[in-house]
Amino acid sequence: MKPFVIVNCAMSIDGKIAFPDRKQAKISNDEDMARVHKLRDECDAVLVGIGTVLSDNPKLTVKEKYVQNPSNPLRVVLDSNFRTPRDAEVFSGDAPTLIATTCREFKQGNIEAIKCGEGKVDLKKLLDILYQRGVKKLLVEGGETVIWEFLKQNLVDELYVFIAPFVIGGRTSPTMAGGEGAFSQESIIHMKLEDAQRVGDGILLKFVPHSPKT
């Protein structure tokens, strides 16, 4: 069994999710931020990759500005070699944190590291462990390598994309899905559009997995 996996991503018109040097860009407007924080609050865990921790240093908690008495779900970082800095915001005392590695195992207060896979974190194994621990709904917040891998392994149940009305450009700017990408028509990852709604000055799209008829 695996948790219900929701992926959320904010991009510019041209599909970029950060600046060309991978530094964080403010893409969501305030209405979208409120939606994301409510979504976090409804989930049992929030997951990012080590790339996002190193570039954005997110806290991954639910802001009281958006949700009263937030639940602050478990924070999960995919970090094969345990590169998360000791002073990273994901280690703030506001919520428990699980570092999924391939090299270390320990528990110290509300910080835990587990070994899960060889070389890089085995996503299916990790989802199974999370489910056994009571995580029924997981929010994946990025970045591009992690989102690609979840999509490629067919682990995504819902995908939310907020598109802001500006262009970032840049050949090296990360997009929603990085990784190696699809090299043929057959390996393209298909999704079905379920909903589209205006959110302030941007648009929110909701997709679900879809197998097109051949």
Ligand X SMILES: NC(=O)c1ccc[n+]([C@@H]2O[C@H](COP(=O)([O-])OP(=O)(O)OC[C@H]3O[C@@H](n4cnc5c(N)ncnc54)[C@H](OP(=O)(O)O)[C@@H]3O)[C@@H](O)[C@H]2O)c1
Residues lying near ligand X in the complex (CB under 6 A): 9-10, 17-18, 22, 24, 27, 48-52, 55-56, 78-81, 83, 120-121, 123, 141-146, 149, 174, 178
Torsion, Cα 191 26 197 48, to 10 degrees, reads 40
In angstroms, the CA 144 to CA 48 distance is: 10
Using alpha carbons only, give the angle 56, 208, 35 rounded to the nearest 5 degrees: 45
Question: Nearer Cβ to ligand X, position 41 or 79?
Answer: 79
Q: Tokens at residue 1, please?
A: 């069994």
Closest separation in Å from C-beta 214 to ligand X: 28
3-state secondary structure of 90: helix
Question: Nearer Cβ to ligand X, position 70 or 174?
Answer: 174
Closest separation in Å from C-beta 213 to ligand X: 30
Question: Nearer Cβ to ligand X, position 76 or 121?
Answer: 121
- CB-neighbour burial class of residue 87 (10 A; exposed 0-12, middle 13-18, buried 19+): exposed
Omega cis (within 30) before 143: yes
Question: Nearer Cβ to ligand X, position 72 or 84?
Answer: 84
Closest separation in Å from C-beta 40 to ligand X: 13
Closest separation in Å from C-beta 51 to ligand X: 2
Omega cis (within 30) before 51: no
Question: Nearer Cβ to ligand X, position 104 or 212?
Answer: 104
Closest separation in Å from C-beta 69 to ligand X: 26
